[in-house]
Amino acid sequence: MHFKERAHASLGDAQLQQNLKKFKTKFVTTRREALTELDDVEGTREAAGAIRQRALDDLDAWLELFETNATARGAVVLWADTPADVNRHVIDIARRHGSNKIIKSKSMVSEESALDHALESAGLTVVETDLGEYILQINDYEPPSHIIGPALHKNKAEVAELFAAKHGTSRKSEISDMCLEARKVLRSHYLSADMGISGGNFFVAETGSVVLVTNECNATLTTTLPKVHVAISGIEKVVPTLEDVATLMRLLPRSATGQSISNYVDILTGVKGEGEFHGAEHMYFILVDAGRARVLGSEVKEALRCIRCGACMNHCPVYQNIGGHSYGWVYPGPIGSILTPSYIGLENAPDLPQASTMCNQCGVVCPVKIPLPDLQRKLREEEFRRELRPWSERFGLRAWSWLASRPSLFALATRIGARALKVLGGRERLIHRLPLGGGWTDGRDMPAPAGRTFRDLYARRGSGR
């Protein structure tokens, strides 16, 4: 299915529309309220954007420093050029340590390589422990629809049905009861797993640490109970210092869920040392390129500043109406409209940079000041250059600029146009069906013009004086 068909299906799904409506008001309001706690929101955004940009400007150097420091603390740093490399590394690690059962906290990067499927194909058991991801996993690996709330498209009743069916329990009506049920199921998995996989919100170069920002304690359990911990994230997630993390953390939870701070922030540095009680005995970092180095050298490189808060999609009026699944790949919403074409090829996602009104609501809420509409426009330029748009559109645009460069001809054409549109509008002065404009008139009328252009009327006024 293509974008338009998926969007069409979402727009017609009454249940989804109801769920989306609820989601929309919640995140927008909580973010706005949380940001009032900061003295200087704009200054903090400026600083956060600069921190991320500084990391990207010398990414190779920060990554090397990270590798040196992580290795010095007993961790192993592995590099994955492609999504397939991620899966290969994880399976290798599991084999090396004889791990059969894997618990996993949230990682969007692992969605890029469909890691769970690869692990299962290799005969390993994997259990998602983020509640949202767990819901999707037991629903036959339904894809996530949001980067921080993967199951946001589902409501309480849908989850209650799913739990009753999959757990073989009585149907619960309270969210707290459903949470207790999930906790009970997941606790046994935590205790029996021999390997834990997490994502990574930040990799800290000066300490070789990974930072995990979560709300359910599942990442803490996943990374400290099993003897092996594997943290997977993109190479762009490195930041120079812990001080930088402190600044970014002023904005990440506030922008994401409207929390001053998330319930848990784990900073994991190295393997369990002698005499230490907590931590994994073996720690691996898988740093994933999978298109990121290419983006770094492209016109849309600022997209790599992203700290995955989800504010752009929470505030996007297109996302709010069509939901995350319409975008077709791992990352939905405005940031997805840049990342998806960049990672899987513009020719495979030609609608995404186009399906935006460029209202810039995303740009003004982004905590690291990614100029999202400008980046969408860069990709539109590439589509135009590479002739990825329909010929009719390219022809129309060329014809428009040709005509508008010729004032006399333009005046004549618009004079005729204004009259023709007036006629089409009839007595009601409303056009119900516009030739070649079905995209407009399928759902709207076109108010008809009065029949004379301003240019004509103004010239008449001038001569009348």
Partner 1 sequence: MRVGFFVTCLVDLMRPSIAFAAIRLLESGGAQVLVPPTQTCCGQPGYNSGDRSGAKALAAKVVSEFEECEYLVAPSGSCSGMIKTHYADLFRDDPELLSRASALGAKTYELTDFLVNVLKLDRVPGGFSGRVTYHDSCAGLREMGVKQQPRALLARNADVTLIEMPDCETCCGFGGTFSIKYGEISTRMADNKCQQIVDTGADAVVLGDLGCILNIEGRLRRRGDMKTKVMHIAEVLAGDSSESGARG
The residues binding partner 1 (CB under 8 A) are 4, 7-8, 11, 317-318, 321-322, 354-361, 363-364, 374, 377, 380-385, 389, 393-394, 397-398, 400-405, 407, 410, 414, 417-418, 421, 429-430, 437-440, 442-447, 449-455, 457-459, 461
Q: How far is the CB of 317 from partner 1 (least distance, A)?
A: 5
User: What span, in angstroms and rounded, lies between the C-alpha atoms of 400 and 324?
Assistant: 34
46/174 with CB nearer partner 1:
46
Question: Cβ of residue 363: shortest distance to partner 1, in angstroms?
Answer: 8
Beta carbon of residue 414, minimum distance to partner 1 (angstroms, whole number): 5
Closer residue to partner 1 in complex, CB, 74/371: 371
- Within 10 angstroms of residue 154's Cβ, the number of other Cβ atoms is 21
Give the nearer residue to partner 1 in terms of CB position, either 273 or 390: 390
Q: Where are the alpha helices (DSSP H) in 257-351?
A: 292-296, 311-315, 317-322, 333-344
- In this structure, is the dihedral angle defined by the CA atoms of residues 50, 56, 61 and 64, taken in order, positive or negative? positive
Cα angle value 156/162/167 (rounded, 5°): 125
Q: How far is the CB of 439 from partner 1 (least distance, A)?
A: 3
Helix 175-192 and helix 156-167, axial crossing angle in degrees, nearest 10: 40
* Beta-sheet strands, E only, within 396-464: 430-431, 446-447
Nearer to partner 1, 156 or 433 (CB): 433
Taking the complex as a whole, the smallest distance from the CB of residue 301 to partner 1 amounts, in Å, to 16
Helix-then-strand count for the chain, H and E: 22, 12
Instruction: Considering the complex, state which of residue 176 and residue 463 has its C-beta at the smaller distance from partner 1.
Output: 463
Q: Minimum Å distance from CB 342 to partner 1?
A: 16
Distance of CA 333 to the CA centre of its chain: 6
- N-to-C CA span, the chain: 61
Cβ proximity to partner 1, 207 vs 314, nearer residue? 314
For residue 296, the minimal CB distance to partner 1 (Å) is 20
Residues 52, 58, 64, 70, Cα dihedral to 10°: -20
86 vs 421, beta carbon nearer partner 1: 421
Distance CA 386, CA 287 (A): 31
Report the alpha-carbon distance of residue 285 to residue 93 in Å, rounded.
11
Q: How far is the CB of 378 from partner 1 (least distance, A)?
A: 9
- Helix ranges (DSSP H) in 148-217: 156-167, 175-192
Rank residues 168 and 443 by Cβ distance to partner 1 and give the closer one: 443
